[in-house]
Amino acid sequence: MSTYYDDSQAVFSPVTRSAIFIVATITNTPEHHATVRNWCADVAAVVRSVAKRAPDGRLSCVCGFGSTAWNTLFGLPRPAQLHPFREIGSGGRVAIATPGDILLHIRAEEMDLCFELATQLLNKLGDAVTVVDEVQGFRYFDQRAMIGFVDGTENPEGRGAIDFTVVGEEDRTFAGGSYALVQKYLHDMKGWNALTVEQQEGIIGRHKQSNIELDADVKPSSSHSSLTTLEDENGNEVKILRDNMPFGRPGMGEFGTYFIGYARSPAPIEQMLENMIIGLPPGNYDRLLDFSHAVTGGLFFIPSLTLLEELSTRSVPPNGH
Ligand code: HEM
């Protein structure tokens, strides 16, 4: 059990109706690096200020840093498991890595709150960053993913969520932190909707209408739920915390799912991705990927609240180490 959750950023915020995901790269000058470091000490206060304007709005923000940015901005020590996003590819299915130094995951009941917080946080960063991806996600009916199935059912809750997502004694300096892996998926909805409901249910591993898991004797081993269910060496289930959001522009034919997975180490999320893409055994891959492809991919470390503030005081030699 990780005992450092009191100091975590809002990783376990309850699912909200709206979210904004922002990935930005930092501008490579010492002055801009200093701006980003100073900003780290401001984030919590900006979130508080905007949140107070709508007390029932459940506004929260999680911010994280990519591997290269960590070296450049903060140097050593660095989170033990932080590395650049590892591309995985097989048979035309690829989890691509795309540029990204800073991740902002902003959640609230209403989009105006998310929008205001994103605006205020980005204003403070100014030209120290360039936003390379920005997605506004919305709740789709009863928490359904764009593909029509309820999403998030098997998320860990309570102490489980803490155990699976908060770094503890294994990396003491970074205790209270988490890792987040993000991917922006686009769906071929024409192809998906041409399947029968039974075919779709076999791909996900759950009944579409009732959200009940398929019985073990009929659930295909290639189903999304089978391939993303992991066990450790003692046979205990290893979970991650997901807060995916649908997004899209129907007029442009864009229908997407923004995937975000939080965990205490990147390893289980990467293992799930490998199972989905390569297959278990190889070739027995996730058919959801015949109708969905990732157009971004990034891995970020989410420092604890205390560390986030402290990072503003780091001074890093010009070569970043
Ligand atoms: C389960 C949708 C990508 C990990 C599910 C479920 C849906 C879903 C509908 C079933 C309900 C639930 O338990 O949440 C999607 C969509 C994706 C996507 C639309 C993007 C195209 C991913 C990725 C990962 C992942 C990239 C991990 C790397 C999981 C896990 C479960 C799950 C761990 C729970 C499995 C279980 O315990 O039964 N997903 N997912 N998903 N997904 Fe995904």
Omega before 281 within 30 of 0, i.e. cis: yes
Position 318 scores a pLDDT of: 61
**Cα–Cα distances in angstroms (integers) from residue 237 to residues 34, 93, 247, 279, 295, in the given order:** 42, 26, 30, 19, 29
Check residue 10 and report its DSSP letter.
S
Rounded to 5 degrees, φ, ψ at 129 are: -135, 160
Q: Say if ligand 1 is within 6 A of residue 269 CB.
A: yes
Atom of ligand 1 nearest to the CA of 289: 21
pLDDT in tens, 27-79: 999 999 999 999 999 999 999 999 999 999 999 999 999 999 999 999 999 99
The residue type of 194 is: A
Report the alpha-carbon angle 40-42-44, nearest 5.
Answer: 95
Report CA(225)–ligand 1 centroid distance (Å).
7
Q: Say if ligand 1 is within 6 A of residue 261 CB.
A: yes
Q: What is the Cα gyration radius of the chain?
A: 19
Which position has the token pair 């540029």?
99
Position 320 scores a pLDDT of: 52
Q: Say if ligand 1 is within 6 A of residue 292 CB.
A: yes
Non-local CB neighbours of 58 within 8 Å, separated by 6+ positions: 13, 14, 16, 107, 108, 109
Q: How confident is the model at residue 5 (pLDDT cuts 50, 70, 90)?
A: confident
**Cα–Cα distances in angstroms (integers) from residue 32 to residues 66, 253, 267, in the given order:** 16, 37, 32
Non-local CB neighbours of 180 within 8 Å, separated by 6+ positions: 62, 64, 103, 105, 260, 261, 262, 299, 300, 302
CA distance 231 to 38: 41
Token pair for 238: 């290893």
Q: Say if ligand 1 is within 6 A of residue 185 CB.
A: yes
Selected residue with higher pLDDT from 321 and 290: 290
Report CA(228)–ligand 1 centroid distance (Å).
7
pLDDT in tens, 291-320: 999 999 999 999 999 999 999 999 876 655
Work out whether strand 298-302 and strand 178-187 pair parallel, antiparallel, or are unpaired. antiparallel
Q: How confident is the model at residue 140 (pLDDT cuts 50, 70, 90)?
A: very high
Token pair for 65: 């840093």
Q: Say if ligand 1 is within 6 A of residue 274 CB.
A: no
Q: What is the pTM of this model?
A: 0.97
Position 91 scores a pLDDT of: 85
Active site residues: 151
Q: Look at residue 83 and give its three-state secondary structure.
A: coil
Q: Which of 146, 184, 224 to mutate to test the pocket of ligand 1 (most atoms within 8 A of CB)?
A: 224
Q: Is the model's pLDDT at 166 over the cut of 60?
A: yes
- Please choose, from the candidates 226, 227, 218, the residue with its C-alpha nearest in 3D space to the C-alpha of residue 278: 227
Q: Is the model's pLDDT at 204 over the cut of 60?
A: yes
